[in-house]
Amino acid sequence: MTNTNHRWIVRAIPYLWTLVFFLIPFIIVFKISLSSPEIAQPPYSPTFDPFVDGWSETFARFAEFTSANYLRLFDDSIYVSSYLSSIWIAGSSTVMMLFIAYPLAYGMARAPKSWRPTLVMMVILPFWTSFLIRVYAWISILSEEGLLNSMLLSLGIIDEPLVILSTNAAVYIGILYSYLPFMVLPLYSALEKMDESLIEAAKDLGCTNIQAFWKVTFPLSLPGVIAGCFLVFIPAVGEFVIPDLLGGSDTVMIGKTMWEEFFNNRDWPAASAVAIALLIVLMIPIMIFQNNQAKQQEAGQ
């Protein structure tokens, strides 16, 4: 058909790039997670070539692999509780986010047509300003001498400053705030595409406003809901900045644990094992997300 000579180059270059910078690193992480700390400290020779070293050497290296790191994940309670609390925090934030984001996205989709591009831009704008800045802004608001407390104190609503910063509550607020555009945009996109006449048809057939919403609008917006939930949940599980800046020492999230393991304890294999375990935990949601995206693409064509 067309000149196929050039075509393969177009996909070969990004393919190579992602293989080298995405896939291979993961394989390395996996390998490191199976090593003991002495071997894993740099400089190390991570490649083992059967042709150079001979098969016996290769097998010997395999024998050095230990699953000690992974067993430690189960033994040491901090890891298990980190995973569980990360999933819990991310999960409940996602659900709460849905309740905030849906009305906002709905309002945007029902707004006059000329307003909508501006509204979309207004939702995206905070996203285009630094993530770090936005989290930082909340520190000034939530700290004991912060804005919220001084306002509440001066209005006489409370007697003592509320301790919000350095607690899990601050982490929830941080996640809700920072990830909101990720939930709003897919929802808005799905709601905007929806045909108004479907709701009119439902009402014509006897539905009340609320029934029309649950029977028509919400089911049709489901792809957007799914996309939004996964776009929030998956990265939030591994979130580091928010628990570190807004959470306290009793806030255990796996991203923070891994960072500490790596930078503070300098235990690379442990960090790797944590990473791989996290990846396994997230594998199913990631696959569901990819599946949903693929279906969306096909539907679009």
Partner 1 sequence: MKRFSTFNAVSLTAGFAFLYLPILLLILYSFNAGRSVAVWGGWSTKWYASVFSNQQLLDAAWITLKVAFLSASIATILGTMAALALARHGRFAGRTLFSGMVYAPLVMPEVITGLSLLLLFVSINVDRGFWTIVLAHITFTMCFVAVVVQSRLVSFDRSIEEAALDLGCTPFMTFFRITLPLILPAVISSWMLAFTLSLDDLVISSFTTGPGATTLPMKIYSDVRLGVKPEINAVCSMMVAVVTVTVIIASIMTKRQEVERERAERLAQTTS
Partner 2 sequence: MAAKSIGPIRRKFAPWDDPSAKPLIRIENVSKNFGSFTAVNNVSLDIFEREFFALLGPSGCGKTTLMRMLAGFETPSAGSISIAGQDLAGIPPHKRPVNMMFQSYALFPHMTVEKNIAFGLEMEKLPKGEITARVEEMLKLVKLEGFALRKPHQLSGGQRQRVALARAIAKRPKVLLLDEPLGALDKKLREETQFELLDLQMSLGMTFVIVTHDQDEAMTMADRIAVMDKGQFVQISPPAELYEQPVSKYVADFIGDINLIEGRVEKNDLGKIILGSDMTGGMIEASGESAVKNGDTAWFALRPEKVSIGLSPPENPSVNTATGTVWDIGYVGDVSVYHVRLDGGGTMRASIANTRRIVERPISWEDKVFLTWAPDSGIVLTK
Phi, psi of 67 (to 5 degrees): -95, 20
| Residue 1 binds partner 2 (CB under 8 A) | yes
Residues 39-58 binding partner 1 (CB under 8 A) are 42-44, 46-47
Q: Which of 231, 256, 234, 235 has its CA nearest to residue 246?
A: 256
d(CA 20, CA 127) in angstroms, rounded, equals 29
Of 56 and 117, nearer to partner 1 (C-beta) is 117
Angle between helices 168-193 and 131-142 (to 10 degrees): 130
Of these partners, partner 2, partner 1, none, which one is at the site of residue 134 (CB under 5 to 8 Å by kind)?
partner 1
Shortest distance in whole angstroms from residue 79 CB to partner 1: 14
Which listed residue (170, 228, 275, 292) binds partner 1 by CB under 8 A? 275
Stretch that binds partner 1, among 51-59, 64-72, 213-221, 251-259 (CB under 8 A): 251-259
Residue 161 three-state SS: coil
**8/131 with CB nearer partner 2:** 8
The residue from 73, 87, 119, 225 that contacts partner 1 (CB under 8 A) is: 119
> Of residues 59, 136, 214, 218, which one binds partner 1 by CB under 8 A?
136
Q: Which stretch binds partner 1 (CB under 8 A): 48-56, 67-75, 76-84, 134-142?
A: 134-142
**Considering only CA atoms, which of 184, 171, 175 is closest in space to residue 131?**
175
**Closest CB 3 distance from partner 2, rounded Å:** 5
Residues 144-183 that bind partner 1 (CB under 8 A): 145-147, 149-150, 177, 180-181
Distances (CA, A) of 248 to 82, 165, 192, 254: 14, 8, 40, 14
Return the axis-axis angle of helices 116-128 and 77-110, rounded to nearest 10°. 150
Distances, alpha carbon 1 to alpha carbons 8, 231, 241, in Å: 14, 39, 51
In the bound complex, what is the minimum distance in angstroms from residue 284's beta carbon to partner 1?
12
Residues 2-61 interacting with partner 2 (rule: CB under 8 A): 2-3
Instruction: Output Rg (C-alpha) for the chain, integer angstroms.
Output: 25
